[in-house]
Amino acid sequence: MKKGLIVFLLVLAALCAAQAPKSADTAYSPERLKRVTEMFDQYVEQNKIAGAVGFVLHDGKPVYEHAAGWSDKEAHRRMTPSTIFRIASQSKAFTSVAILALLEDGKLSLNEPVGDFIPTFKRTTVALDTGEPVPAKRAITIFDLLTHTAGISYGTNPQVAALYQAKGLGPAAGYGWYTADKDEPICTTMERLGTLPFVAQPGEMFVYGYNTDILGCVVEKASGMPFDEFLRKRITGPLGLKDTRFFVPPAERDRLSAVYSSGAGGAVRAPEGAKGQGAYVDGPRKSFSGGAGLTSTAHDYARFLEMIRRGGELDGVRILAPRTVALMTTNQIATLHSTTGLGFGLGFETVDRYGAKGMAAVGAFGWGGAYGSTYQVDPASHSVVVLMIQLIPNMTDIQTKYSDLVYQALLR
């Protein structure tokens, strides 16, 4: 009888355990995360921003999500988790992954000269401060472009600005990086770029500019397919990222957030054109800018980052090998990017000293976009942190505040 009672009790305990709710994620304090929401809502109320989406994953599971304010204030459209954003330089992460996927295919190597793919880069020049060009000391490589050490800017520097403008780049392209309105393929634009002087010798300085747009053209040359098709086949399609594209379908234009600008009286609607709303719906749809051209959602982008956090694989889909991801997310250029504890890998800024980027742990990596969006992957805490806004220029401190408030809610 006792034996039967024990068996009954064991079975009953197992059934109760199976039916009991699973314990919630305890890494982040729900009470402390409310401070993030309060900050968002306060910034909207004070008109510092029109709207924003914050999204945090821990071990791949959502622990925080909030859509605040308006995606289009004038049209009375509320911000939602499915709102689409122009992600500008956050496009660079996708392009860097594409290049390294081709490295794994054996289609290119890090030390390979870019001139092997784009003939105008076989012999490049560098403009001195006087504007007089001199020959580059060596060929620009794929590694130089991934780490922004090729000496290539966005062409707005005084010594080259007029030359770039005459070629439809630099000051002729909004803030320099905008190509969505170009009625030509990205390789045509980049081949023209190769004829212009750059602003530093290869390998000598960290210079932020068209590097990743050039890599987008390299993807096309090395793969033999349009850049948008390569991304679809090798990255966004396999990962199920249905909202990550270079241009928004006209039928979904109402999902695209409007762009605002920081002004004296707060956020005001940005103008049409290259320095505002851009041609992401009704443009020529020909220029696939690997440096600044993609649109995405907070969910899509966080899923992409989660793949990288997990060493290149997510839900049975492997995009990169673990060692390739480690290469991407390790500082490759010593102190050329920063002398304060931040480095730069093959597409990402890296945190090499605790305190160099707020409360991000050593080993964290991330970047942001010109429209104000930003992200951080923190492997030590198993976290992916995404902020999506559309504010250019962004004169607020929302990026720093958001990061601090997310991290203060992390209790282990």
Domain boundaries, the chain: 30-90+229-408, 94-223
Q: What is the mean pLDDT of residues 209-226?
A: 98
> Looking at the domain that runs over 94-223, which CATH code has it been given?
3.40.710.10
Q: What is the pLDDT of residues 54-93, one digit of tens each?
A: 999 999 999 999 999 999 999 999 999 999 999 999 999 9
User: pLDDT at residue 252 above 70?
Assistant: yes
Q: What is the mean pLDDT of residues 330-340?
A: 98
- On the question of a common fold for 30-90+229-408 and 94-223, the answer reads yes
CB 391 within 8 A of CB 371: yes
Q: Which two tokens stand for residue 261?
A: 């600008």
Count of CA atoms in the C-beta half-sphere (13 A) of 169:
27
Q: What is the pLDDT of residues 345-369, one digit of tens each?
A: 999 999 999 999 999 999 999 999 9
User: pLDDT at residue 277 above 50?
Assistant: yes
Instruction: Please report which residue ranges of 157-257 form alpha helices under DSSP H.
Output: 161-166, 186-193, 211-223, 227-231, 237-239
- CA dist., res. 39 & res. 141, Å (int): 44
CATH number, domain 30-90+229-408, options 3.30.56.10, 3.10.310.30, 3.40.710.10, 3.40.50.300: 3.40.710.10
pLDDT band for 168, please (50, 70, 90 cuts): very high
Q: What is the pLDDT of residues 31-57, one digit of tens each?
A: 999 999 999 999 999 999 999 999 999
Predicted pLDDT of residue 25: 63
User: pLDDT at residue 242 above 90?
Assistant: yes
User: pLDDT at residue 130 above 80?
Assistant: no
Q: What is the pLDDT of residues 296-325, one digit of tens each?
A: 999 999 999 999 999 999 999 999 999 999
C-alpha distances in Å from residue 309, one per residue of 29, 30, 46, 88, 169: 22, 23, 35, 21, 35
pLDDT band for 26, please (50, 70, 90 cuts): confident
Question: CB-based contacts of 32: which residues, under 8 Å, 6+ apart?
Answer: 408, 409, 411
Alpha carbon dihedral 151, 152, 154, 157, in 10-degree steps, equals 40
Q: What is the mean pLDDT of residues 126-150?
A: 94
pLDDT band for 15, please (50, 70, 90 cuts): very low
